[in-house]
Structure 1
Amino acid sequence: MTWLESLKIRRKLIKTFKSGGIYLGSDERPIFPKINHVRTTEYSAQIVFNLPNGLDPKMVTKKDYIFLQHFGKNVDLDGDHKKFTLTVYHRSMPSTLKYKFADISKVCNGLSLPIICGMDRTGEYVTLDMLKQPHILIAGETGSGKSTQLRSILTTLIKTKKPNELELYLGDCKKSEFHLFRKVEHVQCVHSSARDIQKMLLHIKKELDERSNLTEMFEVSHVDDLPAEHRKPYLVVCIDEFVMLRKDELIMDILTETAAIGRTLGVFLILSMQRPSAKVLDTTIRANLTVSMGFKLRDAMESKIVNTPNAHNLEHSGRFIMNADKLYELQAPYLTMEQAKKLLNPFVVAKGPVKEVNEEIPQLTEKDVFNDVN
């Protein structure tokens, strides 16, 4: 970046401060925030500025529209009581992003339980490791891209982990999303009725108890530290539209317990819903869902419930706000049903009726499962 380019950006920011009234003193002798430095890359320009003592930081946060008016829509403003960073992106995020496993596999390399999230404004993929950031909540109205994101996440997990390393337990309350995974070797069951999902979760509860006993017996803090002969595969429970199960107290209790203790036991949740509800996402379970992905939501209240601010303002299908270690705006990879079937074909086995839940999962009662495992 040349000195002249830096000067233009600085002057533009001063003009922004002036038009927004973001300064101390009088109009004739304003004291503007101090611009510390301006840095540019191929994808963005980053401007760091400090507020003068006595200037309310709400003057900046409440007037973020001023920065949009002067620098355009492709900006991020982040800061605290004193220091702020304005990032101006040179180009818009792609409105569509085709799922390419060759590219995705590279960024997932080295992750224990890789979650492909999406691409940011810099053209870089953002990924998560569920081992470090367990339990995901995905919310979005019909057509927002939520279902495609689930398909992308599950397909990536299957493609990157061996069947003896990962077991998937799927609940498809809408009976429309997970049928293509039914015969995949990693997938232990696909259920749609509340009765069968309850049986599935009773099995998960039993696994939690057994694994907890093992970690206590061998005095380790995580199942990955167990002796090789007792090593356990990761379990991922994914339930689409789990709000339909809200009236089943046993189901909700097991999901809450899994969210609370599952990480150290190698058991993880991916829960999705169209219409977030504070009654379903109570403070206990919400506090333990460490990653939230908010696709297009109906209003600000739903965005607040999911903890993904401004998700209700999203305009493109597949675009979402993610709240993990920080806030991201990302474009999710678009994976069609046909493409997913091709990618999953090498993992399909002829399971036939064995894949039906009732035969694969023991007929457990609530009393059986909640007794201590000896």
Structure 2
Amino acid sequence: MSFWGELMARKRMIKAFRYAGLYKTIGSDERKIFPKIHSVRTTDHSTEFVFTLPNGLNPDILKKNFYAFRQVFGEQIKIDGEIKKFVFTVYQNASTEVLNYNAEEIRKQVEEFKLGIIAGKDRTCEYITFDLLKQPHILIAGETGSGKSTQLRSILTTLILNKRPSDLQLYLGDCKKSEFHIFRKVEHVQCVLSDGKQIAKMLKGIKKELTERSDLTEMFEVSHVDDLPAEHRRPYIIVCIDEFVMLRKDETVMDILTEIVAIGRTLGVFAILSMQRPNAQVLDTTIRANLTVSMGFKLRDKIEARIVNTPDADKIEKSGHFVMNADKVYNLQAPYLELEDAKKLLNPFCISKKPVKDITPKEPKEEPKQLTEEDVFLC
């Protein structure tokens, strides 16, 4: 940054301090002492200010009057720090109107992970990714048209492109009957179900699988299914249910989903759940506590944003933008994957499928009764 550029940036910062009332007054002339700006650093995507508060100045004033910084610098800002030293970042408007899905670029980002999830790009145009094994279970919420469904399509497509069918099985529940039809013939996908009773039956089969895997880890005295002997290894399982709130009245379904998010991590079974209208009764404390990653696209109000644990998701204005709460809070733009483009990417993995194997426990059949001489006589 040039000398004059830095000088102008410092003047804007002092203006924000003044508007926020972030200063001390001393002496009879009430001279103002503003926070000390130690450095101003500019990159291609942001300008970063490092400053300290004068001793005796309450840092709560900064939090209470942070709106003043938005009035001076706009919405694309962030502040880190506490008590005295703070780092204030102003982001340039680096995000594009549409962030197109680039399969090869994304592959490089997730290839180091066992179950790589591509979330999106942050304000500095860097991809944010994570491993589902380390941050298990995802909740995605957002209004119609906010980008939630496209994000689901992107996540599932990325998993299919980068994992072999022998290593990953997908069980998809499409309660709206509109999202998952393109995955129906993909080899990784065990089923695509839309009927509530069918989804419940599928989840009972997953529960049986959980029990079997738990028994195996206990038998071989290991803490994770990845540590089982090779002949007993099981593929990772991801259960993805869109608009799962429609299943809320089925206690069995909700109990099994709760069990998956509670113990599934060590057993290699994961859940991706999505909903349009977050509901505190559906997202009870047990489920919320174990959904380690929350993605909040545009939500209706602060209550919904709080339920999903994605602060300020109610303030999002652009489709495809969302707040992710994982190891920290991110403001991201999701990659946009067109339906037709997804079909082309998935086509090499599509096969002609036989009817899906029923994995639910069978009810014991009643043996036919043997007729006795007395029965014959009564006939």
TM-score band, normalised by the shorter chain?
Answer: over 0.9
Residue of structure 2 in register with 1:17 after alignment: 17
Q: 2:69, 2:170 → 1: CA distance? A: 45
Q: 1:179-211 CA distances to partner (integer Å, 9 max, x unpaired)? A: 111111000111111111111111111111111
Residue 84 of structure 1: how far off its partner (Å): 2.3
Q: 1:165, 1:92 → 2: CA distance? A: 37
TM norm structure 1: 0.92
Q: Select which of 93, 110, 118 maps to 1:116.
A: 118
Q: 1:52, 1:232 → 2: CA distance? A: 59
Contact 2:208 2:361 in 1 (8 A): no
Q: 1:364, 1:306 → 2: CA distance? A: 37
> What secondary structure is seen at the aligned counterpart in 2 of 1:351?
coil
Residue 176 of structure 1: how far off its partner (Å): 0.7
With over 3 angstroms needed to count, the CA separation of the structure-2 counterparts of 1:80 and 1:261, relative to structure 1, is farther
Q: 1:73-95 CA distances to partner (integer Å, 9 max, x unpaired)? A: 32222333333221111334222
Q: 2:269, 2:66 → 1: CA distance? A: 41
Q: Decide which structure has the larger Cα Rg and report it.
A: 2
Q: 1:79, 1:192 → 2: CA distance? A: 47
Residue 232 of structure 1: how far off its partner (Å): 1.5
Residue of structure 2 in register with 1:369 after alignment: none
Matched, 1:345 2:343: no
Q: CA RMSD in A?
A: 1.8
Q: 2:156, 2:336 → 1: CA distance? A: 13
1:262-273 aligned within 5 A: 262-273=264-275
Deviates more, 1:235-244 or 1:100-109: 100-109
Residue of structure 2 in register with 1:370 after alignment: none
Deviates more, 1:223-232 or 1:163-172: 223-232
Residue 119 of structure 1: how far off its partner (Å): 1.2
Residue of structure 2 in register with 1:46 after alignment: 48
1:23-38 aligned within 5 A: 23-26=23-26, 28-38=30-40
Residue 125 of structure 1: how far off its partner (Å): 1.3
> What secondary structure is seen at the aligned counterpart in 1 of 2:30?
coil
Letter in 1 for 2:255: D
With over 3 angstroms needed to count, the CA separation of the structure-2 counterparts of 1:54 and 1:261, relative to structure 1, is farther
Residue 310 of structure 1: how far off its partner (Å): 1.0
Residue 4 of structure 1: how far off its partner (Å): 4.4
Residue 29 of structure 1: how far off its partner (Å): 2.1
Q: 2:92, 2:341 → 1: CA distance? A: 32
Residue of structure 2 in register with 1:281 after alignment: 283
1:1-374 aligned within 5 A: 1-26=1-26, 28-352=30-354, 354-355=355-356, 359-364=357-362
Q: 1:119-162 CA distances to partner (integer Å, 9 max, x unpaired)? A: 11211111111011110000001111100100000000000000
Contact 1:95 1:331 in 2 (8 A): no
By relative contact order (CA 8 Å, sep 6+), the higher-ranking structure is: 1
Letter in 2 for 1:130: L
Contact 2:175 2:244 in 1 (8 A): yes
Contact 2:94 2:125 in 1 (8 A): no
Contact 1:237 1:269 in 2 (8 A): yes
Contact 1:64 1:77 in 2 (8 A): no
Q: 1:76, 1:236 → 2: CA distance? A: 34
TM norm structure 2: 0.91
Letter in 1 for 2:254: M
Residue 53 of structure 1: how far off its partner (Å): 3.7
Q: Where do 4+ consecutive residues of structure 1 move more than 4 Å?
A: 363-366
Q: 1:201-229 CA distances to partner (integer Å, 9 max, x unpaired)? A: 11111111111111122222111111211
Letter in 1 for 2:23: Y
Residue 24 of structure 1: how far off its partner (Å): 2.4
Structure 1 residues without counterparts, runs of 5 or longer: 367-374
> What secondary structure is seen at the aligned counterpart in 2 of 1:360?
coil
Q: 1:20, 1:32 → 2: CA distance? A: 11
With over 3 angstroms needed to count, the CA separation of the structure-2 counterparts of 1:312 and 1:180, relative to structure 1, is same
Letter in 2 for 1:294: G
Percent identity, aligned pairs only, is 65
> What secondary structure is seen at the aligned counterpart in 1 of 2:198?
helix
